[in-house]
Every structure is written in C-alpha cells, then in structure tokens.
C-alpha cells in the first residue's frame, strides 16, 4: 500500500478507516492521536478460540483447529463487521507478538474483510509519534507468527484435553494438566526433594578482628596454611590452627594488592528481568508486575497531556534500544549529572539467543517523564514499577562505576589471613541503580567487604579478637517469585510472555502454594507430578519442553511447518495415552486416626481434600462431621512478613500477619501503634474508584469491599480479579469455585451473565 493512503484524507465524505486494537484503554489512547478520520475500536482480547465442549482439533486431517467465536463476543464481532463494511481500510493493531498476530488474523477472518484493504500495524510504544509513524508503514499479517501461536494452542489443547480426564479418573475429579505448567510443577517438586534429601556438612571459619596504626579496625578470614588454601572441616583442625596462631604471637601485613575495577551497568529490562527485579525490590509477583506494566504501556492520564503510554511494550526478550531513546537519555544524563557520567559512546547490550530484535527492551517512552513528574497521575504501585523501569533504563545508558579494590594478606606464623575492601571512587550508574541479587544456598558473611585502613606492607597489627565459628552447608532454597522466573528462563520452559500465567496457573490449580513467600508443592501437586513423571516422563522433561519452544521459534521464522511440530509430538504422546488405562489410581488413601466421631460414634479418618488433609467422619454423607488436623489447628502462626506498605498513622512499615480470620496488614510499631489494614486485590471499586480490599465478616467469611468504607459501601462476596468481562466490558470479574474444584470467572453484573472456565 502506498503511504499516502495512511495519511490525511483529502476528499470530503470519504469513508473512515477502522483501527482495531485489543483493549479499551489502548483504544482510548490511540483514538486521541489519530483524529476524526479514524474509528478506533477494541476487540477486548481474543475473539475466537477452540471450543470448550470438545477437543476442537481434527487429528486425522492435519490437526486442523475448529475455531469458534468466544461466547459473549458475538456483539463485538457484529459491530466490527458492520464498521468494516463502511471503511476504506482496516488496520489491525493488536500487540506486536505471536498472540497479537493471532488475534489480528482471527479478527480479519471473522469480519470478512477483503485482503487488499486489511493491514497489520505494530508499534512498541503508544505515543503520538510512534503511532503516526507506524500508520505510515502498514504491513500484512505475518502468517508464520500466527502459525507459531496456533501450534502452541493446539499442543496445549491436545495435552490438556487428554490428560485432564485421566487425572479425573486416576487422582481426583476436577483436576487438570498443562503442557508447560506441569513442567513448572515438576521443577518445584524436584527442588523440594533436593531440600529433603540434602545432607548438611560441617565447616568452620576463623575471623580475626585486627587493628593497625591507622583506623579503622577490620576483619580478616583465615585462608591459607603454608601458602596453600586451608580447609576447616571440623573443630579439631580449627583448634590446631588456633594453637599455631597463638604460638606465632604476631600478625604482620605481608602483602597489599590494589587494583582498579570498572563495574558496568545492567542492560535495560527484558520481560523476565523486569519480573525478577520487581519481585526482589518491590515484592510484586509476576502476575501483578505484568498487570501494572500493561497499564503503563496502554496509557495513563497525565493531566493536560492526556492519555499516553509511558513505557514500551512489556513482553520482550530483546535489550535493543532505539537510537532516538539513546540520544534523549544522553542529553538527560549530561544535563542532570554532568559529562563524567556520560560514556563516550552509547553502551551496546547483547540479547539472549533467539531474541526478537525487532522489539525493544522495556524502557520509558521518554526519560523526560521522570518518576517525580508522573507521580501525581499514577497509583502507588504503578509509580513503584515505573520508577524501577526508569531507573534501570537511565542507568543502562550511564558510565561504569570505578571501584578501588584492596586486599591484605596478613601472616601469623605459617598461617595467612585475608581481608578485602572496596571503595567507590566514581559511582557512575550506581548513583541511581544497582541490580538486585538472589540469595545463595550457602551464603554467609565470608564474602562481605569493608573499608580497609591506609597501611603499608610490613606493618604489625594487633589482634582485638579471634573468633572460630561453626557453619553447616545449607540446602538449595525454595523458589521465590524472582528465582522461579529465573529458573523458567534458564531451563527454556515457556517464554517470557507466559511466565506470569504459568506461575498463576500452578497456584490456582492448588499444585503449588506459597509458604512465607516461597513456592512449595502441595500434596496434590506431588501426587499429580509423580503420576505424570511415571507415565509421561518425556512430556514433562525439561530438555524436551525447551526443544518444543525452540521448534515453535522455528515455525515463527518460517523454517519449520507447524503441522510437523504437532505431528512429531502427538505420535509418541498418543502411544502413552493408549497405555493410560493400566495406570492405577493414585489418590492418597484415608488414614486411621483412632478417634471416634462425637456426633454419630463412627471412626474418624484423615482424609485428603481440596485444601489438603483434614479429619472426617467415615459415616459421610449421612454424617458430615469434619475438622482440621490437630497439628494444623494448633500450629503456631507464621512469622510476620515485611511489606512495602507504610502505616497511615505513624509512618512505620506494615507487616503481613496471619490472624484468626486469615492474613492482614499490621503496623510494625505494635503495641504502641495498633493500626491495621486489609489486603488489597488490585481491583478498583466501580462506584468511587477506591480499591477493593479483603475483609472478614462476623462469621469469619471473607468478603471484598471498597477501601473508602464507610463512605462507600460497595461489596462482593467472591474474590474480584482484574480481568475485564469480554461480553459487557465490565472492568473486573469474580472468581467462582465449583464443587469439583474447577475455577471459573463470572461477570458480577447479573444481566450480563457471562461465565468462563479458567484456561486449561
């Protein structure tokens, strides 16, 4: 198409062009930029999918998918089809990834648009300049990318549709399995077994606190004996070393090493790095991080500037930065921090293998919108995430930090102690940002560095203290939000755009739970995992799953056919399914307790239910007497967890505590300050814009009401989730759990009546 057709229409009365995006928020922002000659409408996500009541795949006919319009989207499709007939051109503008490409294709198929007037437009940021420039260079739908998404959807349906009924028969009704999610559960189960099987080994350290002619005093670790590395596995060897040190009776600074080291900034954010840092520094889960990032990308109201996207597209594995963004950042750095903070040339970062370099890193659309300038227009959580993204990007364009590293070797007879210190000579990028780190399994104080005094070689030192200390190696820690994303990425499980959904799904299915902020498998998760490992080992093998992801990438690149990927997978998988009837039922058996029901006199047993084990009467269903396990009922409440919330009364940090009726926020200044807050849901109140928070009724049942109570009395009994209703566009839906443990989402508006199952 020639670029003139995308510019201003010159002929009066000419039909308008139709622009279709996914979300109403995105439509609102883009509509402001394009003007009256364009009609901008939202599809509100996908418009077609595989049917929910049947497999929807013709296995005998090349795995052809049978797509149907999603329930509740008929009106949306009808409206778009009507507008398309009146439009001279149709611009499909869903997100610039596989999912967005598939949405664009499904829309085009359903509205019956002619190929010669249907165009695909992509952009990495929603700003006026980016949108107008993208509209000048429209393309066509990339069918390779569509087929890569189709292959993933078909594979996931083949696994979910066939394995879920198997789990119903062999474990418990209502269960489900997913091609990638099951691998993530295995990862958590494997880590838990590593922890259980871990045998701690003893080791020791000896620390001397020394003082020279110049302050300050400093610490040094015993490191060598006769010039060789010294191992301290037990107290006997430590005591022998201490005897030798005491016999020497002196400490001499024998060697000083000084060297200058440069520390380079971290690259700007990819999706996975954003999720990791957000978890480390802000305490946000991957799901919350992506929800907030979506809001910042699609557009926020910035006063007189109106709605504008303030970060680039947040689903990316690339660290590429546009030249104009680099130039703007360099101007900002030189103006605010000075020339010493500006590197000679803009830094160049290398993306990981297979990254889509057409995308950019996650960055602010303009560094001129510093966090303080946008703060009045953002929610507290939006502001935190935006600040993190802004700081990381600006730091990535700054000069390296310059560090002076000093190391002392201190001799005491045949033994040598070592001390290390670092002084920041020039902070560079560290002025605004340093990357967080995850804890190591056996991390202790050994690697901590301090400031060393100005001393000369040969100086005699005084020992203020010599302290031996016993240690034990620690098992690998359970995964946190940050480390589980890191592990998924390293093992090639899923893609950055799917991490949040994977983590959310395995928790929703009750296969994994969080204990004190870390992921642990539930008993149900272990049972399901072991059954799948025993009979479908290849399906949930890490290397096999990573290879499947690579093949999907090849489909997108046009070097592999999607049908071949599915066929190669389904052959061995279907053979395993044929033998599935031989699998024995693996549901944990009831355990005798020795107790007698106080209502009917029949024996009580320990039974396995949706929320774990509990005590129940064997007379069920005639007698429904049940109670929690004694150990659980009397267990000590977990330790309070630190949060980023601040007490409104005294300004001290709020702690996440667990009370009689569940979790809540309480001031760390208790008992001097007894302020508490309910937990937030991340969903806005539809009546006054407050936030819906979890509360407890008199009977202990949870409900969710406006944070501005009692001024606003809006409340619902089911947990609200920030998921727009695809039928009526209500801003959130409600969680529903069926008796057979199936999770679904329902619109809160009765007249709408929309309900959908959580994805398999």
Instruction: List phi, psi (to 5°) of 6.
Output: -95, -5
Which residues does 65 contact at the CB level (< 8 Å), separation at least 6? 50, 56, 57, 58, 150, 153, 154
Task: Judge whether 80 and 92 are in contact, CB under 8 Å.
Answer: no
CA distance 10 to 117: 18
Angle between helices 74-86 and 98-111 (to 10 degrees): 70
Q: Which residue in the block uniquely carries the two structure tokens 């290390």?
A: 420
Residue 297 annotated to the active site: no
345-371 in b/e form (b: 16+ CB < 10 A) is eebebebeeebbeebbbbbbbbbebbb
Tokens encoding 601: 């006199």
CA distance 322 to 477: 39
CA distance 285 to 405: 36
Q: Which residue in the block uniquely carries the two structure tokens 């590197």?
A: 343
What three-state secondary structure class fits 709?
coil
Tokens encoding 646: 């601040």
3-state SS string over 585-607? CCCCCCEEEEEECCCCCCEEEEE
> How many angstroms separate the Cα of 204 from the Cα of each of 302, 443, 640?
58, 13, 32
**Dmax (CA) of the chain:** 101
H or E segment to which residue 13 belongs: none
CA distance 179 to 709: 44
Task: Judge whether 469 and 205 are in contact, CB under 8 Å.
Answer: yes
Task: Judge whether 408 and 452 are in contact, CB under 8 Å.
Answer: yes
Task: Judge whether 130 and 324 are in contact, CB under 8 Å.
Answer: no
DSSP label at residue 679: P
Which one of the listed residues 38, 67, 297, 313 is annotated catalytic?
313
Task: Judge whether 311 and 296 are in contact, CB under 8 Å.
Answer: yes
| 736 burial via Cβ count (<10 Å: 0-12, 13-18, 19+) | middle
Q: Which long-range contacts (CB under 8 A, 24 or more apart) does 594-599 make?
A: 597/623, 597/625, 598/625, 599/623, 599/625
222 HSE (CA, 13 A, CB side) = 29
CA distance 456 to 258: 12
E-strand spans in 341-451?
401-412, 415-426
Instruction: List phi, psi (to 5°) of 399.
Output: -70, 155
Instruction: List phi, psi (to 5°) of 101.
Output: -65, -40
Q: Which residues pair with 354 in a beta bridge?
A: none
Task: Judge whether 496 and 489 are in contact, CB under 8 Å.
Answer: yes
Closest CA to 723 of 3, 72, 66, 139: 72
Catalytic residue set = 313
């Amino acid at each position: 198409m020639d670029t003139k057709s995308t510019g201003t229409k010159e002929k009066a009365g000419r039909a308008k062009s139709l622009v279709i995006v996914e979300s109403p928020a995105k439509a609102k922002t883009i509509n402001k930029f394009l003007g009256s000659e364009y009609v901008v409408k939202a599809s509100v996500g996908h418009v077609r999918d595989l049917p929910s009541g049947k497999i929807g795949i013709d296995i005998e006919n090349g795995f052809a998918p049978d797509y149907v319009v999603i329930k509740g989207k008929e009106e949306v499709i009808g409206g778009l089809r009507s507008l398309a007939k009146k439009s001279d051109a149709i611009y499909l503008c869903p997100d610039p990834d596989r999912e967005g490409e598939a949405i664009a294709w499904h829309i085009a198929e359903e509205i019956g648009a002619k190929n010669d007037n249907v165009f695909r437009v992509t952009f990495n940021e929603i700003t006026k300049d980016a949108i107008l420039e993208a509209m000048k260079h429209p393309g066509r739908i990339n069918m390779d990318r569509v087929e890569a998404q189709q292959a993933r959807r078909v594979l996931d349906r083949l696994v979910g549709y066939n394995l879920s009924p198997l789990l119903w028969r062999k474990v418990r009704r209502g269960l489900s399995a997913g091609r990638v999610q099951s691998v993530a559960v295995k990862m958590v189960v494997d880590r838990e077994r590593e922890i259980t099987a871990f045998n701690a080994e003893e080791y020791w350290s000896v620390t001397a606190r020394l003082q020279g002619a110049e302050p300050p005093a400093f610490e040094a670790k015993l490191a060598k004996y006769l010039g060789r590395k010294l191992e301290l596995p037990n107290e006997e060897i430590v005591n022998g070393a201490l005897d030798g040190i005491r016999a020497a009776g002196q400490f001499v600074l024998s060697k000083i090493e000084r060297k200058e080291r440069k520390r380079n900034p971290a690259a700007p954010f990819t999706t996975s790095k954003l999720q990791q840092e957000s978890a480390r520094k802000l305490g946000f889960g991957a799901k919350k991080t992506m929800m907030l990032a979506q809001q910042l990308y699609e557009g926020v109201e910035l006063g007189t500037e109106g709605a504008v996207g303030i970060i680039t597209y947040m689903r990316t594995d690339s660290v590429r930065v546009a030249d104009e963004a680099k130039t703007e950042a360099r101007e900002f750095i030189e103006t605010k921090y000075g020339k010493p903070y500006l590197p000679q040339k803009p830094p160049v970062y290398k993306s990981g293998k297979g990254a889509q370099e057409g995308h950019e890193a996650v960055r602010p659309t303009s560094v001129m919108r510093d966090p303080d300038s946008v703060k009045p227009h953002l929610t507290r959580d939006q502001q935190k995430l935006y600040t993190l993204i802004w700081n990381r990007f600006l730091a990535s364009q700054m000069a390296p930090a310059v560090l002076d590293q000093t190391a002392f070797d201190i001799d005491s007879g045949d033994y040598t102690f070592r001390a290390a210190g670092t002084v920041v000579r020039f902070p560079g990028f560290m002025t605004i940002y340093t990357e967080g780190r995850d804890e190591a399994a056996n991390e202790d104080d050994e690697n901590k560095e301090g400031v060393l005094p100005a001393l000369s070689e040969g100086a005699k030192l005084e020992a203020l203290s010599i302290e031996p200390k016993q240690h034990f190696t620690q098992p690998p820690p359970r995964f946190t939000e940050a480390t589980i994303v890191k592990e998924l990425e390293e093992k090639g499980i899923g893609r950055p755009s799917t991490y949040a959904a994977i983590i959310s799904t395995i928790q929703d299915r009750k296969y994994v739970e969080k204990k004190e902020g870390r992921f642990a498998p539930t008993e149900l998760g272990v049972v399901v995992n072991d059954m799948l490992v025993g009979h479908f080992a290849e399906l949930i093998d890490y290397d096999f799953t990573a290879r499947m992801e690579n093949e999907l990438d090849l489909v997108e690149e046009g070097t592999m056919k999607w049908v071949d990927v599915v066929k190669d997978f389904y052959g061995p998988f279907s053979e395993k399914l044929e033998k599935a009837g031989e699998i024995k039922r693996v549901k944990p058996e009831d355990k005798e307790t020795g107790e007698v029901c106080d209502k009917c006199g029949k024996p009580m047993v320990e039974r396995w239910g949706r929320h774990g084990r509990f005590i129940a009467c064997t007379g069920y269903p005639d007698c429904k007497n049940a109670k929690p396990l004694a150990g659980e009922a009397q267990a000590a409440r977990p330790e309070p967890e630190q949060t980023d919330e601040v007490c409104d009364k005294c300004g001290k940090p709020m702690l996440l505590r667990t009370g009689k009726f569940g979790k809540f926020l309480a001031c760390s200044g208790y008992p001097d300050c007894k302020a508490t807050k309910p937990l937030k849901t991340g969903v806005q109140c539809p009546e006054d814009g407050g936030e819906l928070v979890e509360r407890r009724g008199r009977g202990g049942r949870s409900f969710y009401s406006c944070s501005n109570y009692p001024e606003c009395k809006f409340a619902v009994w089911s947990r609200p989730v920030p998921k727009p209703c695809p039928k009526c566009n209500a801003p959130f839906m409600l969680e529903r759990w069926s008796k057979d443990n199936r999770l679904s989402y329902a619109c809160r508006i009765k007249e709408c009546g929309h309900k959908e199952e959580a994805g398999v």
